């Protein structure tokens, strides 16, 4: 399933069979063909551990009429064919997309997905980086057989009023046939419900707005993550023809002075940066591993997760909604230089990646902030203009969540005025010998002088490395678990005792594989700053973080 709950009772929608045939034409020799399962990455196969190329996935499907394939994620770009006919191309491993074939002859058909994880300058968000760009269909695939009309989207924004909660609904209905059609669209959430007559011109999509009075619905909060089903039903000639089921939480996020308020209560954030990766499963993280990660972070006293540096699987966000784990989600970008940002395709690609993230993850109550452009060129005119363009898009698409960007510690930041929440990354005691409290003071002075005065501040990354199992009883050498624990103790003590800081995300939860280009500074070609290794085996720092985070939680 593409979510952790059923999204349809009327629509004919089911996950594609898990077994596919995979051919890797760029693996040398004659195309290597294997039986694989989806979701999955080809790097899980012993012969394809470092394969960078195309992977041609094929499966026979039985379908007819208007067929819609929903892909949770294909890394890093995809071409989708039905019986050899190109239906859709998509770039971006971390957001979903649809491929539609109208009026298909009922029977057996060949579904082909060409995944390609080669780096290419035309795909500006992906390049050898401090995480691994896997290859494959790494999230679920769903096949739907639709009527002429279907509900293509339903965004719900909860607002608290003196009369109780209001759910502002923006739904869209698409018409796949060549005649104009009439229908009735009904939406129900908690005790609120409303229906409207709609007319959808041939081949078009129409938007419908509702305002549902939901009375005294129970609010969603980290301590009490109450979720409500949002059910949208489309009826044609009095008969239910399509539906879409989602889940929402009644909560509002806003910034007030240096505080981030959730339902008017200030948040204090103790979190982790988490890449979407699990040892030999790569970026196709099993659901059971997703929930285990949340449990492990909560056990250490954390209450939030930053999805560095890209949108996550909706099922992971569903689990965060369910458990009350707050989420900083960000569109895909890490450490692009001004030159890279000047590529003619960059702006449209980062805007599209951001548009898809917000459109697909809009309803998750756990997502409290949208982040962008991690450690990009925020110190140049051109880079700053890019930041402002992406912030502007987010504010158009979702004015109800604050925006931020994790910038570098180095001076020169020029976008503090454009952020609702100021965030930055620093590694005192690891990359720099500076004392943590002095580093915090220095950066805060810059933030206050250049547009960030009086805004909430989040330490979006702070940490140190250790190789799992490497011990130095004297606690002296870097890469030892002992040294990591002592650096983290200094860092977290300084951050959590600084009254001007609203929250912190440790870098990082688990060790992750990185591009081989980074081998010289990344032992094992891994980023080893995890508190657990890639198999979730705790390092000594686990105890340090747990002591500090739980003491802060229980203070």
Residue 499 or 521 having the CB closest to ligand ADA = 521
| Residues β-bridged to residue 35 | 21
CB of 301 to ligand ADA, least distance (A): 22
Q: Which residue of 507, 509, 526, 542 would you call a contact of ligand ADA, by CB under 6 A?
A: 507
DSSP 117-147: ----TTSTT-SSBSB----B--S-EEEEEE-
Residue with tokens 């045939």: 21
- List binders of ligand ADA among 300-319 (CB under 6 A): 308
367-386 residues near ligand ADA, rule: CB under 6 A: 374-375
Rule CB under 6 A: is residue 331 a binding residue for ligand ADA? no
Work out how close the CB of 133 gets to ligand ADA at its nearest, in angstroms, rounded to a whole number.
13
Q: Is 150 in the site for ligand ADA (CB under 6 A)?
A: no
DSSP class of 413: -
What is the nearest approach in angstroms of ligand ADA to the Cβ of residue 485? 17
Instruction: Pick the closest to residue 14 from 143, 146, 145 (CA basis).
Output: 143
Which tokens in the block code for residue 55? 């992977």
Q: How would you label 16-47 residue by residue, b for 16+ Cβ within 10 Å and e otherwise?
A: beeebebbbeebeeeebeeebebbbbbbbbee
Contact between 330 and ligand ADA by CB under 6 A: the answer reads no
- Exposed, middle or buried, 6 (CB in 10 Å: 0-12/13-18/19+)? exposed
Q: What's the min distance (Å) between Cβ of 379 and ligand ADA?
A: 15
Position 425 contacts ligand ADA (CB under 6 A): yes
Q: Please, what is the minimum distance in Å from the beta carbon of residue 275 to ligand ADA? A: 8
Task: State the minimum distance, in angstroms, from the CB of residue 372 to ligand ADA.
Answer: 13
Considering the rule CB under 6 A, would residue 533 count as an interface residue with ligand ADA?
Answer: no
Q: Can you tell me the distance from the alpha carbon of 386 to that of 415, in angstroms, rounded to the nearest whole number?
A: 10
Is residue 482 involved in binding ligand ADA (CB under 6 A)? no
Tell me which residue has its CB nearest to ligand ADA: 130
Of residues 385 through 404, those in contact with ligand ADA by CB under 6 A are: none
Let me know: does 477 contact 483? Beta carbons within 8 Å: yes
Q: Closest distance between ligand ADA and the C-beta of residue 312, in Å?
A: 15
Could you say which of 79, 270, 529, 539 contacts ligand ADA (CB under 6 A)?
Answer: 529
Among 59, 66, 423, 527, binds ligand ADA (CB under 6 A): 527
Cα separation, 230 vs 353, in Å, equals 26
Is the bond into 508 cis (omega within 30 degrees of 0)? yes
Burial classification of residue 178, based on how many CB atoms lie within 10 Å of its CB (0-12 exposed, 13-18 middle, 19 or more buried)? exposed
- Give me the residues paired with residue 284 across strands: none
Binder of ligand ADA out of 276, 461, 511, 534 (CB under 6 A): 461
Q: Which is nearer to ligand ADA, 169 or 308 (CB)?
A: 308
| Min separation Cβ 307 and ligand ADA, Å | 12
- Of 2, 126, 130, 378, the one binding ligand ADA by CB under 6 A: 130
Residue 446's DSSP bridge partners are none
Would you say 78 or 492 has its CB closer to ligand ADA? 492
Q: Are strands 164-175 and 149-161 parallel, antiparallel or unpaired?
A: antiparallel
Least distance (Å) from ligand ADA to the CB of residue 130?
Answer: 4
Q: What DSSP letter does each residue of 456-497 carry, written as one string?
A: -EEEEEE---B-TT---TT--STBSHHHHHHHHHHHHHHHHT
Measured from the Cβ of residue 172, the count of other Cβ atoms closer than 10 Å reads 16
Q: At 454, is the secondary structure helix, strand, or coil?
A: coil
Cβ-based nearer residue to ligand ADA, 82 or 426: 426
* Closer Cβ to ligand ADA, 148 or 378, answer by number: 378
Q: How far is the CB of 446 from ligand ADA (least distance, A)?
A: 17
The yes or no reply on residue 332 touching ligand ADA (CB under 6 A) is no
The structure tokens listed for 394 are 């987010």
The residues binding ligand ADA (CB under 6 A) are 130, 308, 334, 374-375, 425, 461, 507, 527, 529
């Amino acid at each position: 399933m593409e979510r952790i709950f059923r999204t349809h009772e009327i629509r004919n929608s089911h996950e594609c069979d898990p077994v596919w045939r995979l051919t890797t034409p760029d693996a040398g020799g004659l195309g290597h063909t294997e039986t694989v399962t989806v979701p999955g990455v080809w790097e899980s196969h012993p012969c394809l551990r470092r394969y960078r190329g195309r992977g041609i996935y094929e499966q026979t499907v039985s379908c007819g009429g208007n067929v819609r394939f929903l892909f949770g994620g294909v890394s890093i770009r995809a071409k989708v064919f039905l019986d050899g006919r190109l239906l859709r191309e998509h770039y971006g491993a971390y957001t979903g997309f649809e491929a539609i074939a109208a009026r298909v002859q009922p029977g057996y058909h060949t579904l082909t997905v060409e995944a390609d994880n080669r780096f290419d300058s035309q795909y500006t968000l992906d390049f050898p980086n401090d995480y691994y760009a896997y290859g494959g269909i790494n999230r679920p695939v769903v096949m739907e057989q639709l009527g002429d009309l279907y509900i293509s989207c339903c965004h719900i924004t909860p607002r608290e009023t003196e009369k109780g909660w209001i759910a502002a609904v923006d739904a869209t209905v698409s018409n796949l046939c060549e005649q104009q059609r009439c229908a009735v669209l009904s939406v129900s959430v908690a005790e609120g419900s409303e229906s409207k007559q709609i007319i959808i011109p041939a081949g078009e999509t129409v938007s419908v707005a509702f305002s549902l009075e939901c009375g005294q619905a129970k609010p969603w909060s980290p301590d009490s993550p109450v979720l409500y089903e949002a059910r949208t039903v489309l009826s044609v000639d009095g008969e239910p023809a399509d539906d879409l089921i989602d889940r929402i939480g009644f909560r509002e996020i806003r910034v007030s002075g240096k505080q981030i308020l959730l339902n008017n209560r200030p948040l204090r954030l103790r979190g982790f940066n988490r890449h979407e990766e699990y040892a030999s499963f790569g970026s196709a993280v099993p659901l059971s591993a997703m929930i285990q990660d949340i449990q492990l972070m909560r056990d250490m006293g954390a209450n939030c997760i930053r999805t560095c540096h890209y949108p996550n699987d909706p099922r992971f966000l569903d689990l965060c909604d369910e458990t009350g784990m707050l989420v900083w989600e960000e569109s895909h970008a890490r450490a692009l230089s001004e030159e890279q940002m000047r590529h003619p395709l960059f702006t449209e690609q980062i805007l599209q990646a951001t548009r898809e993230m917000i459109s697909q993850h809009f309803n998750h109550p756990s997502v409290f902030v949208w982040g962008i452009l991690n450690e990009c060129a925020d110190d140049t005119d051109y880079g700053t203009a890019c930041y402002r363009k992406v912030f502007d898009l987010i504010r158009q698409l979702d004015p109800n969540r604050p925006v931020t960007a994790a910038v570098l510690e180095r001076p020169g930041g020029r976008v503090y005025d454009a952020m609702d929440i100021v965030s930055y990354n620093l590694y005192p005691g690891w990359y720099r010998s500076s004392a943590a409290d002095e580093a915090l003071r220095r950066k805060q002075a810059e933030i206050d002088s250049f547009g960030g005065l009086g805004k909430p501040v989040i330490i979006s990354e702070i940490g140190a490395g250790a190789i799992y199992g490497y011990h130095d009883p004297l606690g002296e050498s870097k890469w030892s678990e002992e040294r990591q624990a002592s650096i983290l103790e200094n860092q977290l003590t300084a951050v959590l005792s600084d009254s001007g800081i609203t929250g912190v995300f440790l870098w990082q939860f688990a060790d992750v594989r990185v591009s081989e280009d980074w081998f010289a500074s990344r032992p094992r070609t891994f980023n080893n700053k995890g508190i657990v290794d890639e198999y979730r085996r705790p390092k000594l720092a686990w105890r340090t973080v747990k002591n500090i985070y739980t003491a802060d939680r229980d203070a």
